[in-house]
Each structure stands twice: as structure tokens, then as C-alpha cells.
Amino acid sequence: MLQGIRVVELATYVAGPGAAALLADWGAEVIKVEAPGGDPIRGFYASVGRDDAENRVFENDNRSKRSIMLDLSKPEDAEVLRRLLATADVFVTNTRPQSLERLGISWERLKAIKPDLIIANFTGYGPVGEDADKPGFDITAFWARSGLCWLTTVKGGEPAQLRTGIGDHMSAMGLAAGIMAALFHRERTGEGQKLETSLLRMGVYAGSSEHSVQLQLGKLASPRPRAEAQNPLNNFFKTADDQWFVAVPRQGVDDWPRFAAVIGRTYLVDDPRFDSIRARRANGPEVVALLDAAFGQMSWAEARAALTREKLVFSPVLSVGQTTQDAQALAAGCYVDVADDAGETIRVPASPIDFGVPRPPLRRAPALDADGAAIRAELDLAAADSAG
């Protein structure tokens, strides 16, 4: 869909490159500008003490791109970047505004020479405010600062770590959506746009239902242990064969009779301790204990059949390893095979949206500066121009 759109990416790690990777999946040409040594995420495995030659973490967010290495401390390489941006439709960056100004590629300067350019600037904490210039990772800005970590920490418990790239990838999707809206606006008006977003902003949006409750009521219930859940039916349970699953009662419907039928205790429907949402909340530990005992005597196959029969909303809790083999995840297109020049493929997670047009062939992530000479030639620059 984005054939003919050129994206220049001056970004590192995950969120910015992830957004550009989505655009590449949708057909855009993405040129990744890397400093000498490359994007630090190329060294992901080395940073955790491994020496794996393959790096699917990098592949995931950099497939189907081209790479050019530029030392932007050199005036001649900074000029190459400026020349490259003059050919671009979209510029994705997580570079601080002061650095962009120093390089001569601030929004004001680029707008003057290319009014239809779309600049998507992604930061940790936003472009203004006392922390605007602080570096931010998803675990700091998206997870900890936004309230999301608090929302998932049981009262009195220790905060949980955020695993690799989760906030970044949610943010990448949002950034890509903003870019698509700006491209649509440009299609109608011919005008470029400057997009600003941040990990903090994306984190607050991800938790915006809970933030809405806080803003309305001025308070928010702390996360509680299972036995003390606000709604004891909205909970996790474990079967006799150690399979955890989550059940979710529907809004606006009293699913208690269905739960009672699942565990074979329909007589509990009219029990005054459990016959209303308020009663079940007041007697939450008893409800959870009843369900724990009942599901603890069922196999997962039996529980799944009963939950399905009663048309309840539920899902097993799978490990990542199980999800990569899950029949529904595979049927839903959650993974994709990406080929190198020799036709050998590796499997990586797919981008999360399909369209009614064929997906462009996906290529492996480029080696550092793999396309540097070709890109310089396209810009009518000799490779020797940056040598020295």
C-alpha cells in the first residue's frame, strides 16, 4: 500500500525502528541511517552475555530495510543525511531536538526546504518539561512513570519487570498510526506534518481506562491478590493438571449462573452470599475458594469444555514458547517467515495488521552499511566523499 513512499529512519533501539518496520511491511522503502558501530540493538545478545551470530530481536524491527552508515560528527556525512532527507516522504527519529538543530535538520529547517515532509519525533518523556531531555526506555517512561507498573503490582508486592520491548512495540504501532494519518492529510492538502509522541504518553494511553477512573473519582483501587479481587469472577484459576486460565465476566450481564453451571453447583445461584455482584464482592474470598476447589478437581480439557459450553469468556495462560506453537496464533498470522538473498528463511513475529492487498515480500534485516554505496550513488555522491 505504501509503495513509492520513502522513509528515512534515524533512530535506535526499538520504538522508532519498530514503527519504520511496520511501514516497510506495508510497502514503504525504509532507509536506516546508522552511526559507526550500528544501532546498539544489533548487540542485544552481547549485552546479556551471549555471542549468538543471529539476532532475531534486531531482525524483528529492521526487516526489509536498507542500511547506510553515517558519522554525523563529520560535516560531509551530515550533508549526506540532509541530501537523503530531501528525497524522503517521512523522517522517523528519536534524536533530541538540540541534536537535530545542530545537524541542520530541525523541523523548521526541513519544512523550509521540503514543505511536504512528515517528521515523526519519538522521545521518552515528550518535547517539553523538566525531563524532556532525559533518556527514556520503555521500562522507565512507558512502564514505571505512566502508572502501568503500579496497576499490575499486587498491593504490598514488589514491582514486576517489563520484558523486552513491550512498551516500545505498543508505541511503535501508535507512531505508525500517526504517520499514516499525516500521509493521508498530505494526500489531501500537500502539507507535511510534525508528529510528537513519547513512551510516557503511550503508556498513559495504554492505561487510559484506569486513568479515566482516577480522573473521575479521584481515587483508584490498588491491585489486589486473587482472593480479594474487585470482581472475584474476573480472575485466574488453575486446573488439576496445573493449567492456569483467566476468566472474564461480561459487562452488563450476570455470568454467575454460568459459572455455577460450569462447576456443577447451580444451587449457588440463589445463595444470598453470591446472588448479586455486591454480595459476591463482599464474599469474594469464599467465591474464589469455591471456584479454586472446583477447577482444582477438573482437567484443563474438562474445564475448557465446560467453559465453552456455557459461553463464558476465558483463555489459557500460555508461555511464549507455547504461543509460538499455538494453533490459533499460527492461524491468526502471528508469525511470518523472512528470507535472505539465498532464499533461506527465519521466523519472526508478524506486524499486527493485514490488509486486502498482498503483503510485499519480506527481506532479512540489512548488515550495517549494506546499502551505503548504492544510496550514495542514487544521491549522485561518490563513496569517497565520506571517506575523509
Compute the CA torsion angle 372, 378, 383, 387 (nearest 10 deg): -70
DSSP run (H or E) holding 167: helix 166-189
Rounded distance between C-alpha atoms, residue 73 and residue 24, angstroms: 28
Rounded distance between C-alpha atoms, residue 185 and residue 182, angstroms: 5
Contact in structure between 15 and 22 (CB atoms under 8 Å): no
CA angle 355, 357, 358 (to 5 degrees): 110
Q: Which of 77, 89, 138, 168 is catalytic?
A: 168
For residues 317-350, b (16+ Cβ closer than 10 Å) or e, as one string? eeeeeeeeeeeeeeeeeeebebeeeeeeeeebeb
Quote the cell numbers at residue 206: 495504554
Q: How crowded is residue 104: how many other Cβ atoms within 10 Å of its Cβ?
A: 15
18 φ/ψ angles, rounded to the nearest 5 degrees: -65, -40
Place of cell 459487562: 251
Residue 168 falls in the annotated catalytic set: yes
Residues taking part in catalysis: 168
